[in-house]
Amino acid sequence: MSLVETATSVSGAFDSIPIIDIGHASTHEERVTLAQQVRDACVNVGFFYIKNHGIPEETIDTALSAMKTYFSFPVETKMKLYHRRGAHYRGYEPLLDSNLDPANRGDLYEGFVIGWEELVPTEDDDKKADDKPTTIENLWPSEPVGFREALVNYYHAAFNVGKFLHRLFALALDLPETYFDDKLKRSPIMRGLHYPPQTGPEDDRIVGVGAHSDFECFTILWQEPDIQALQLLNSKNQWINATPIPGTLVINIGDLLSRWTNDIFRSTVHRAINRSGVCRYSMPLFIGADPHVDVEPLPSCVSSDRPARYENINSGEYVRKRLRDMYQQGTGTSGGPE
């Protein structure tokens, strides 16, 4: 069945989230089989878990413990790196600073945001990058010791998984396997997130992260085991729990890849509410397209029955606008970069 035909029969009324084992992918045949599962998941749900992703537990644990220490510092210390002071929203986001769902009153998480950075910069790094990718500087606190190393290590480990996944997306979209290789070279933004427990009466207008879809191409989310918080909205308006499954990562499609695929890959609305009684941590890595890349519906996703639904847009401009909107709706007072 063609991609367009596959998408036509989809209802979006999913009640569970597929788990895909990516552990065996050395042959082209194995990757084609995986790509078929990925296609089903992206068309029907927009979310899936991956297992056997290969990120060492130690890399995750070290990043988690660095985050826990950092977020335990007084807010005045963390505010020295307030993310709205710089030009690119890097650094510390305090509680209630953003508001992803305009119907809400602010998102009850604090975060720390970084972009591309080599742990040990290589001399010819910029020369190698023929596409003038972002070289926006990250902001780093002096404490805890090892914070930068822990986060940058996790960033690259997760990005390596992302590089593998975008090849599966390409196969799933009937494109050459390497189609996205030169388009997603340095795009990821990573956030370390801390959700304090929400107690008291349930109030749908203040949640950990309000209902939203992600802006970029796809997200690789590590969520803390044993704490239920993430939920996805299906087409019947039911919230489906994305229960943490040990050893897995959650992958979801964002709006940019949804546009690129003419809505054949679903960018599913989700939210997070932490009513566990204890703090919860998560680490999403958002993989967009590099800023210079133009995005318009792919030929394999367009037909006479399904004409292109979107204009060509520049990826950098698109994501910048989405970020501006998100932070303007928040309660942060010092405005945002233009």
Residues making contact with Fe ion (CB under 5 A): 214
Task: Find the shortest distance in angstroms from Cβ 140 to ligand AKG.
Answer: 21
Residues 164-203 that bind ligand AKG (CB under 6 A): 191, 193
Contacts with 165 (C-beta within 8 Å, 6 or more apart), sequence order: 22, 38, 50, 218, 220, 251
Residue 167 binding: pick among ligand AKG, Fe ion, none (C-beta 5-8 Å cut-off by kind): none
Residue 223 binding: pick among Fe ion, ligand AKG, none (C-beta 5-8 Å cut-off by kind): ligand AKG
CB nearer ligand AKG, residue 192 or residue 291: 192
E-state strands within 71-138 = 91-93, 110-114
Record the tokens describing residue 255, joined without a space: 């709006």
CB nearer ligand AKG, residue 167 or residue 270: 270
Of 93, 97, 101, 214, the residue at the interface with ligand AKG (CB under 6 A) is 214
Whats the size of the chain, residue-wise? 338
Of 272, 285, 295, 319, the residue at the interface with ligand AKG (CB under 6 A) is 272
Q: Indicate the Cα dihedral angle 228, 89, 311, 305, nearest 10°.
A: -10
Residues 218-247 that bind ligand AKG (CB under 6 A): 221, 223, 229-230
Of 99, 234, 248, 282, the residue at the interface with ligand AKG (CB under 6 A) is 282
Nearest in space to 108 (alpha carbons), one of 13, 198, 179, 242: 198
Query: How far apart are the C-alpha atoms of 69 and 57, rounded to whole Å?
Result: 18
Q: Is 161 in the site for ligand AKG (CB under 6 A)?
A: no
Contacts with 244 (C-beta within 8 Å, 6 or more apart), sequence order: 223, 224, 225, 226, 227, 228
Task: Find the shortest distance in angstroms from Cβ 305 to ligand AKG.
Answer: 33
Q: Is 268 in the site for ligand AKG (CB under 6 A)?
A: no
Nearest in space to 41 (alpha carbons), one of 264, 193, 257: 264
**What are the backbone dihedrals phi and psi of residue 78, each rounded to the nearest 5 degrees, phi first?**
-65, -35
Query: How far apart are the C-alpha atoms of 68 and 224, rounded to whole Å?
Result: 12
CB nearer ligand AKG, residue 60 or residue 272: 272
Residues 61-80 that bind ligand AKG (CB under 6 A): none
Task: Find the shortest distance in angstroms from Cβ 218 to Fe ion.
Answer: 11
Of 209, 269, 287, 326, the residue at the interface with ligand AKG (CB under 6 A) is 209
Query: How far apart are the C-alpha atoms of 76 and 90, rounded to whole Å?
Result: 17
**What residue ranges bind ligand AKG (CB under 6 A)?**
191, 193, 209, 214, 221, 223, 229-230, 270, 272, 282, 284
